[in-house]
Structure 1
Amino acid sequence: MVRYRWLITTLVIFSIIELEAGDCSKHFTEINDCDDSDRRAESLRNVNFLVGIAERGANARNEISSEVRECAKDLRIFLEAVDTGETWATKMIDAFGNMPRSFIWGNNFWFSSPELCSDINEPLYISLSPSIPRITNKNLMNMTSPFKVHFQMVYFNYTTPMQADLKQQHEPHIEIGLCVPVQCPKEAITNWAQKYFEDNRFIPQRIYDINMTTVDSKVPEFKSEIFSSTGFILFTLIVVTVSSLAGLAEIMCILKQRRSETHDKDTVATETFRGEKFLRCFSLRENVPRVLQATAPKEFVSILAGLRTIVCLWVTLLHIFYFSMFTMDNILFLYATGETFIQQPVFQACYYVDVFFTVSAFLMTYNLLSNKQRVCEIKSNKWFQNLKLYMKFVIHRIFRLTPVLVLTLVASDFVYDIVDMSSPFYLNEDHDLYCKKNWWYTLLYINNGLSIRKMCLTWSWYLACEMQFYIFFLAIIFIYIKNETVGKAIFITSTLVLMTVSFLCYYSNWNNFPI
C-alpha cells in the first residue's frame, strides 16, 4: 500500500513538473521568438546600411524642416515594411545597402544599378508563360512603394589596413548608392549616413576596420543646367562658327562654279577676293577628298606611317585602361596582373611615346635640310632675318596645333560636366577632364610642369613637350645651317646636359610615377 502511495505521489509530482516545464518551455519559446526578432532586426540594420541610415532618419521627428519631417515619415513606413516583409521593401534592401565582394581588391562601389531604384516606382516586367506552374510571388514584379523614391550617391574618404593604399592620380573613395524617398533632402541623407558609419554599426565596416568620412553626395540625373554651362556654350559657339564658315565656303564654291560656266574659266580662276583662301580651309568639297586621298607625295617616308599607326594604337590601348580606372571595381587586381610579364607590352606603352618624339625630330630635320632652297635662304640671311623666319616656323606650328587643342579643351569640359552630373561616379578636381582652373597652362604648352593631379587633360603633356622640343631643336638646326661647328657643339652639349638632368631626376625620385 505504501508502495502504491509513493508511486502515485511520484506520478503526481512528475505530472506537475511536466506541466510546469511545458509552460516554461512555451514562455521560453516566446522569449526566444522575441529575441530572434530583435536580433533579426538588429542584424539587418548592421548588415544593410540602407536600413541603418533609414533608422537614423526615421528618428528625426522633431526637425524644423517640413521636408525632413516628411522624409522621416516615409522612412518609418519603409522600416515597418521591412519588418513585415513587404515585397517592395524587400526589393529595395535586396538591391541597395549591401557591401559587394572583393573589397580587398579595390571594389569600393557599394551600389547597384539606378534602374533597380526606378523599378520601385515603375516596375520592370518579365513576360512569363502562364501555362508553366511557378512558385514565384505573383506580386514580385509589380509591387511599388507608397512613396516616390530616387537614387542618391554618398561619397566617403576612408582608411583601412585591409586594402593596399595606392597613391594614384584619382584618390579612391567609397561610393555608396541609396534608394531613398524623393522627399528626403540630399544634405539630410548625407548627415545620417555620416552618423551611421561613425557609430561603426555596419558589420563589414568592423570586419575590415574601415574609418569613413563623408566627402560629397549627389543625385545623379541629367539636368537642363548643363545647357547653361561654360563648356556647352563654348562648344556650341565653335560648332556654329565652323558650320557657318563651311556653309559660306560651299556657297563660294557654288558661285564660282556658276561663274565659270558663263565666263572664261582662266579669268574666273585668277579672280579672288579677300578672305577666299581662309574660307577654302573650311570647304568640305575640297578638304574631304584630300583627307581620303591614299597616295603619298614622293618625298614621304612611308615606313613612318605604319610605325606611327602601330604605336598610336598601342598607346591608345594603355589609355583605355588608365583613363577608365575611376570606373573599375578591381583596380588593385589590375595593378597586380599588370606586373606580370605577359602584360608588359600594354602597361609599358608609355615608353612608346618616345617613338613619336623621335619621329617628330626626324621629320623636322629631314624636311628642313632636304629643302635646298630653304637651306640657302637661311645661309644667306642675316641673324635678324633668320630670327623672323624662325618665329614664322614656330607660329605656324602653334596655329596648326592650337585650334584642335582648344576644341578638345572645350569638349572635355563639357563631357566632364555631363559625367559628373549624370553618372554615379565621383569626379573631383584631380580628374583628367577637369579644366576649369589650369586650362591656360595647356594652351601655353607648359602644362607638363604641373603635377599630374593638377594637370588639365593629362595626356596633353606630350604636346607641351613636343612644342618645347620643337622650339629648342629648331633653333639648333638654324644655327647648324648657319655654322655647322657651332651647331654641332650646341647639340652635343645640350644632349649631355639633358641626359644628365634626366638621370638625376630619375635617380633622386627612383620612380617618377609613384603609386
Structure 2
Amino acid sequence: MRLLFLLLLFIPLSFQCLLCPLNTPPRPRPLDQFKIPSIPKFNTDSIPKFCNLTQQLPVGDTCRHGISRIFCSADDLIDAYSNGCPGPEDQEQCSVCERSKPANMWVVRWFDSLGKMPHGVSDGNYYWLGDYEICHDIQREKHFSGQYCLVRLEVPDALVEAGCPQTDPLEIIYGICAPLECRENELESIAKTYAPYKVRVECEVDQEKPWSHTIVWSLIALWKIFLITLTILTGKSFAPDWFARFNIKVNGARCLSTRRTHNRQLHAIHGLMLVTYIFIVLGYVYNLMLPYIENVAFAFDNIPYVVSHLTNNHSYHIDGLMALLCFYSATLMYGQVTTLLHVVQVTFNTILRFWPSYAFVCIYIIFLFQYNTSGPMWIHGEWSNRCASSWWKNLLFINNYFGARETCLDFGYAISLFIHFFAIVAFLCWLAKDRFAIALIIAGVGIVASITYSFVIIYTLDLPPAPIITAEPINVDKMEYLLNYIIICPLARLSPALIGFIFALLPHANLPKNFVFFQYEKLFRFLLFILVIVFNLFVCFYLVNFSSGVYVHPIFLAIYGAFHRSIWAVSLLILGYLITHEQGFSVIEIFLGWRFLSPLAKRIIPAVLISELIIISSFSSLHRPSYATHWFTIYRVIFAALFSLKLALACDTLISRPLRNLFIRDFQEEGQTEEEEDGIEMEEVNEKTGV
C-alpha cells in the first residue's frame, strides 16, 4: 500500500501554460513532404558578376548600395584568387591586388554567417539561424553596416491534395546578415523573388533604451538605498519605531519564519503544495521550451506513451492547487471570520501578500525585460507590448473577462481565479458560522453549476476536453474557445475551490455518533485510498486514446472535460487526509510536514510568476536552439524551481513585506504564524481536523 501511495504521490503535477497551446509548433514531417522548389539548370560560364546582380534587385537605391558593398567585395576577392596578381612588370597593380585579398576576406565570414540547412530537419530543426556572433563581429569591425535579420519562410505541404490531415505549413526560420540600409519590406521583396513562399522578415537593430527604462532602474536603486539605510538606522536612539517595518533583517527573518499552527493536516498541505510547485515548473519547462528547441518531434513522439501523457495532459493540476489553497484558507478562517468587514479585511490582507511582487514583475516585463539581452531567438517587444496593453486588467484581477490573450503572464489568469475564489470562500466561511447548512448548500449548487456549464460548453461547441498536444492538430479557433470559455472562466473553474471549502468544513459537521465512518474507520480509509487510485487513473490517463488520434465519442469527452477537475480536487484532498491520519504513511507525513517547507510553500504564487521569466529567458537568450532530452528537461526544472524560489523570497523580503507592513497596526519583529499573516486571530485550531 505504501508503494502504491508513493507512486500516486509523485505523479507529475504539471502546470498549464495558458498560451502555449496556441504557440505549439506543428508536428515535424520529412522534408520531401513539402513543396521545395527545384534549382534550374544554368551555364556556369554565363553567370554574371555578383556586383551586377544587385542592379536587378527590387529595392531602393540605398538598400542596393548596401548589398553592392557585399557582392562587389565578393567579386574582388574572387578575381584576386582566380586570376592571380600581376608579376613584377606591374608592381603597382600587384600591390593593389595583394591588398585586396585581406581587405575583402570579411566577405568569406559574411557568407559563413548566413543560415544553412542543418541536421535533423525531419526532427523539427527548422531554425537555420546562421552565426549571430559573426554578423555582429563584422559590423563591429566596420567592414559594413549590418543588421541581423530572421526570414520566416512558410513552405506549404505537398500532400494537401492527397488528403493529408496536417495542412499547416512548415515555417523555416532563416538567419541573414543584411545591410543596415535595407528595410524589412525590401528584404521581403528580395526573398519573394527567389522563393515563391509567404515571407516575413524581422530585423534586430540596436535599441536605444527609452527614458522609462532609466527611470525604473533609478527607482529600484533608490528603493534599495532606502531599505539599506533604514536597516542600518533601526535600533538607534533617534530612529522612530516605524523604521523596523522596512528593516531587511527583520523582514527576512519573518519571511523565513517556520512558526505555524499545530494543525498537522495543514503541515501536510504545505508539503503537497510545494511538491505541486516542483511539477508546475516541470510543466512550464516542457511547454515553454517547444518553440526554442531543434527537435520538436521530442514532444510528438512521446504522445503514444502512457507515462508521457502525465505531462501532456496537465491543466487540471492548477485546479488541484486551487483546491489545496481554498481548503487551507477555509480551515483557518472558519469560526474566525465573524463579519462582512472581516471578510473584506482578510481578502485585502491576502492580496497584499503577493500583489506588490506581482506588480513588480509586470513593471519589469513592460520596461526592462526586452533590454536584458539580444539574440536571434530573443523576444523583442512582443511580450512587453502585450503586458503594456493589459497590465491594469491583470493587477485588478479582471483579465479573465477579456480573453486568454489579455494576460501579462500566463499564470496571471490563475491569480485572478484565486482572488475570486478566496473572496467567495471567505464569504461562505462567514455565512457558515451561523448558517452552516445554507453555506454547504450554496457550495453544492456552485459545484453543480460549474460542472454543468463546462459540459454544455464543451459538448455544444465540440471543444477538446483539455489543452493537450494531439497526434492530429486541433483547430486553433477551437483551442482558443477552450481557453476563453473554460480555462480562464471563473464559473468553469469554481468547482475545485468549493470542494476545498466543503472538505474544510466537514470536520465541523454534527455527524451522528453511529455514523458508519466512526464504526468502520479503518475500512473507510482503505476504501478512500482505493477511490484515490481509481480517480487518479481516470483523470491522468483517460485522454491517452484521444491524444493518440483514436476516436472518442464527443459526449464522453464532454463528461471528462466537465468532471475531471473536480475529481482531481477530491482525490488530492483525500490524499492530504490519508497522509495525516493513516499511520502507515508517517514517514511521508514527516517529510511533507517538515518545518523547512513551510516558508517555501507560502511563496509558491510569486515563485511560479517568476519561473515564467526565468524559463523563457534561459531558452530565448541562447543564440542557437537547444536539443531537448528528458535529462535536459530535468536539469532545467531544477534550475528554474530553485532560482525562482530564491527570487520569490527576495521579492517578499524587499518588496512585499515592507509595503504590507504599512497596513499592519501591531508590528512585531518576531515571525508570525499563518493565521497572523492572513489577518486572522485564531485562539485555537483543532489538531484533530479531518474528514
Looking at structure 2, the residues matched to 237 and 360 of structure 1 have their Cα atoms a distance apart, in angstroms, of 34
Aligned to 2:235: 254
C-alpha change, 1:70 and 1:242, in structure 2 (3 Å) is closer
Q: Which of residues 204, 218, 226 in structure 2 aligns to 1:218?
A: 204
1:71-109 deviations in Å (ceiling 9; x for gaps): 424432235536757764444334414233444544332
Q: Superposition pairs for residues 356-395 of structure 1, below 5 Å? A: 356-369=321-334, 374=336, 378=338, 386-395=339-348
Residue 153 of structure 1: CA displacement?
Answer: 1.0
Check the 8 A contact 2:147/2:203 in 1, yes or no.
no
Q: 1:72 aligns with which of 45, 68, 72?
A: 68
Residues 111/338 of structure 1: CA separation in 2 closer, same or farther (3 Å cut): same
Q: Does 1:241 align with 2:219?
A: no
Residue among 422, 430, 434 paired with 1:470: 422
2:185–2:201 Cα contact (<8 Å) kept: no
Instruction: Give yes or no for contact 2:153–2:199 (8 Å, CA) kept in 1.
Output: yes
Pairing of 1:446-465 with structure 2 (within 5 A): 446-465=398-417
Could you report, residue by residue, the CA deviation over 1:93-149 in whole angstroms, capped at 9, with x for unpaired residues? 344142334445443322123123345578xxxxxxxxxxxxxxxxxxxxx9x9336
Tell me, yes or no, if structure 1 residue 161 matches structure 2 residue 157.
yes
Tell which deviates more after alignment, 467-476 or 409-418. Answer: 409-418
Residues 97 and 111 of structure 1 are in contact (CA less than 8 Å); yes or no, is this contact kept in structure 2? yes
> Tell me, what secondary structure is at the counterpart of 1:154?
strand
What letter matches 1:160 in structure 2?
P
User: What residue is the counterpart of 2:388 in the other structure?
Assistant: 436
Q: How many Å separate the matches in 1 of 2:353 and 2:59?
A: 65
Q: Which residue of 2 aligns with 1:401?
A: 354
244 and 121 in structure 1: CA distance in 2 versus 1, 3 angstrom threshold: closer
1:229-308 residue pairs with structure 2 within 5 A? 230=212, 233-251=215-233, 253-256=234-237, 276-277=241-242, 279-294=243-258, 296-299=260-263, 301-308=266-273
What does 1:416-435 align with in structure 2 at a 5 Å threshold?
416-418=369-371, 422-425=374-377, 427=379, 431=383, 434-435=386-387
Match of 1:194? 188
Deviation per residue, 1:414-450 (Å, 9 max, x gap): 454226x722126477648841101111101122334
Q: SS state of the match for residue 235, structure 2?
A: helix
Helix, strand or coil at the partner of 2:388: coil
**Identity within the alignment, %:** 16
Shift in Å, 1:215: 4.7
C-alpha contact 1:198 1:212 (8 A) present in aligned 2 = yes
Equivalent residue, structure 1, for 2:453: 501
Counterpart of 1:9 in structure 2 is none
Q: What residue number does 1:347 align with?
A: 312
Structure 2 residue 171 is the aligned partner of structure 1 residue 177: no
The question of whether the paired residues in 2 share the 8 Å contact of 1:58 and 1:73 is answered with: no
8 Å Cα contact 1:57/1:192 also seen in 2: no
Question: Partners of 1:318 and 1:480 in 2: how far apart?
Answer: 37
* Candidates 114, 125, 128, aligned match of 1:110: 128
Pair 1:60–1:430, CA change in 2 (3 A): closer
What per-residue deviation string (whole Å, max 9, x for no partner) do you get for residues 273-319 of structure 1? 5xx44x43321221223334455443462212221121101110111
Structure with greater contact order relative to length (CA < 8 Å, sep ≥ 6): 2
The 1:62–1:295 alpha-carbon spacing in structure 2 relative to 1, beyond 3 Å, is: closer
Structure 1 CA distance for aligned equivalents of residues 204 and 389 of structure 2: 22
Offset at 1:464?
Answer: 0.8
Task: Tell me, yes or no, if structure 1 residue 37 matches structure 2 residue 44.
Answer: yes
CA offset digits 1:230-276 (Å, max 9, x no partner)? 3553354245225414422431x2314xx7xxxxxxxxxxxx95xx4
Q: What do the CA deviations read for 1:151-187 (whole angstroms, capped 9, x no partner)?
A: 411343625216999999xx99643222345xx4141
CA distance 1:314–1:302, change in 2 (3 Å): same
- TM-score norm. by structure 1 comes to 0.66
| Correspondence 1:10-89 to 2 at 5 A | 37-38=44-45, 57=54, 59=56, 64-65=61-62, 68-69=64-65, 71-81=67-77, 88-89=106-107
Change (3 A) 1:167 1:237: farther
TM-aligned CA deviation for residue 483 of structure 1: 1.3
RMSD: 3.9
Pair member with larger Rg: 1
Is the 8 Å Cα contact of residues 98 and 110 (structure 1) preserved in structure 2? yes
CA distance in 2, matches of 1:74, 1:177: 16
- The alignment covers a number of residue pairs equal to 400
C-alpha deviation, 1:211, in angstroms: 1.7
Partner of 1:484: 436
Residues 346 and 35 of structure 1, relative CA distance in 2, 3 Å threshold: closer
Q: Which runs of 5+ in 1 are unaligned?
A: 1-33, 46-50, 123-143, 203-209, 260-271, 379-385
Partners of 1:157 and 1:212 within 8 A in 2: yes
Matches of 1:217 and 1:497, distance apart in 2: 50
Q: 2-side partners of 1:362 and 1:409: how far apart?
A: 29
Match of residue 567 from structure 2: none
**Are 1:93 and 2:93 counterparts?**
no
Q: Which amino acid aligns with 2:359?
A: V
TM-score normalised to the size of structure 2? Answer: 0.51
CA contact (8 A) 2:125 2:295 kept: yes
Gaps of 5+ in 2: 1-40, 83-100, 468-473, 477-691
**Residue type of the partner of 1:499?**
I
Summarize the Cα distance change of 1:428–1:64 in structure 2 as closer, same or farther, 3 Å threshold.
Answer: closer
Alignment check: 8 A CA contact 1:238 1:407 kept: no
Where 1:440 maps in the other structure, the secondary structure is: helix
Q: Please, which moves more after superposition, 152-161 or 55-64? A: 55-64
Q: Say if 1:197 and 1:150 are closer, same or farther in 2 by CA, change over 3 A.
A: closer
CA contact (8 A) 1:97 1:178 kept: yes
CA distance in 2, matches of 1:117, 1:368: 61
